[in-house]
Amino acid sequence: MERHFCRYGLNESDMNKKLVFPFSLILLSLALALAVMPVSAEPFAQAFYQTPTPGPDSRVIYVVQAGDSCLRISLLTGIEVEELRMLNNLDEECLLSEGQELVLAVVEEPTAALEPTATPGPAQPTPTPFNGTGEICVFLFADVNGNALAEPGEGPIAGGAISISDRTGEVSLPGVTDNSGEPTCFSDVPEGEYNVSVAPPEGYNPTTSMNYPLVLKAGEYSILDFGAQISSATVPIPVNQGGKSPLMAIVGGVLILGGIGLGIYFGLSQRKKQPLD
């Protein structure tokens, strides 16, 4: 004789199907909750530029490197983009090719004035050599795509700790980066060998080397840019960039809880059922 559960109006076959359904939901929710771990970018060496000396024709030349743009060259050299375009007859798109020579400036030599011939006098003592000064600038940018290049849309990062020290221990210059969009500069730095280091603020991971050995000569303007990327622990990474989806995690959690609840409910119901012979 077929057995029935009069309280719920279900036969034994229907009850078995109902018990299988919560376990299917649990398996489905576990599959939806899986996400791919984010991939961290490996550090690259940052771009570095020193103002070159004029050539025999009094022109200052810059050779375009791979990945260069007019904006990046402007940040490296301190020359406005419009001036760079005017000096090199570039169009509005400012298209460049690797190996192309760009004129940064034309230095005019002052005309020497005629002076009367000096009458030889007694020999003077040799003066003490004069050590000149230069300028070091540091730019910390948000390297969104992790390619170690400061590109349009990748703004500055404030709160990075800067340290500039020479190898003799006589010069130690601390500083902090800001979000003004301009490099943090140190002027009147005595010429010599320096180590320039930057520590990104909390919540950022470096995408370039954070230390750079620099030889500064008198009259030079040197700018170094360092890149950092916001860590995945601070801001969730979008799914299309290899991160976890918060929505999928929520849906998975709801499905897991719902499946567990249904399993408990049907388990308790089965204990309380009253079969009819």
pLDDT 10s digits, 96-111: 889 998 888 887 765 5
Residue 122 in contact with residue 206, Cβ under 8 Å?
no
Domain boundaries, the chain: 4-35+245-276, 40-54+132-232
Closest CA relative to residue 192, chosen from 212, 162, 218: 218
pLDDT for position 239: 47
Got the DSSP string for 93-114? T----TT-EEEEEEPPPPPPPP
For the chain, the 3-state helix, strand and coil shares in percent, each to the nearest 5, are 25, 30, 45
Region 25-33: what's the mean pLDDT? 64
Identify the CATH class of 40-54+132-232.
mainly beta
Which is more confidently placed, 121 or 68? Answer: 68
Distance (Å, whole) CA 101 – CA 199: 34
Q: How confident is the model at residue 59 (pLDDT cuts 50, 70, 90)?
A: confident
Q: What's this model's pTM, rounded to 2 decimal places?
A: 0.41
The SS3 assignment for 267 reads helix
The SS3 assignment for 252 reads helix
* Interstrand relation of 133-142 and 221-230 (parallel, antiparallel or unpaired): parallel
Region 258-276: what's the mean pLDDT? 63
Closest CA relative to residue 163, chosen from 232, 201, 210, 128: 210
Q: How confident is the model at residue 79 (pLDDT cuts 50, 70, 90)?
A: confident
Distance (Å, whole) CA 53 – CA 46: 22
Count the neighbouring beta carbons within 10 Å of the beta carbon of residue 76. Answer: 24
Give the burial class of 165: count Cβ atoms within 10 A of its Cβ; 0-12 exposed, 13-18 middle, 19 or more buried.
middle
pLDDT for position 56: 72
Which residues make beta-bridge pairs with 185?
137
Closest CA relative to residue 168, chosen from 136, 194, 131: 194
Region 48-56: what's the mean pLDDT? 63
pLDDT for position 263: 67
Residue 256 in contact with residue 33, Cβ under 8 Å?
yes
Phi-psi region of 180 (alpha: psi -120 to 50; beta: other; left: phi over 0): alpha
- Average pLDDT of the chain? 76
Q: How confident is the model at residue 170 (pLDDT cuts 50, 70, 90)?
A: confident
pLDDT for position 23: 58
Which residues make beta-bridge pairs with 50?
222
Which is more confidently placed, 59 or 54? Answer: 59
Minimum mean pLDDT among 7-16, 23-32, 121-130, 198-207: which range? 7-16
pLDDT digits 0-9 by tens, 119-145 = 666 666 665 555 689 999 999 999 999
% of the chain beyond a pLDDT of 70: 57
pLDDT at 42 over 50: no
Distance (Å, whole) CA 258 – CA 29: 10
Residue 70 in contact with residue 84, Cβ under 8 Å?
yes
> Tokens at residue 155, please?
């703004």
Distance (Å, whole) CA 46 – CA 49: 10
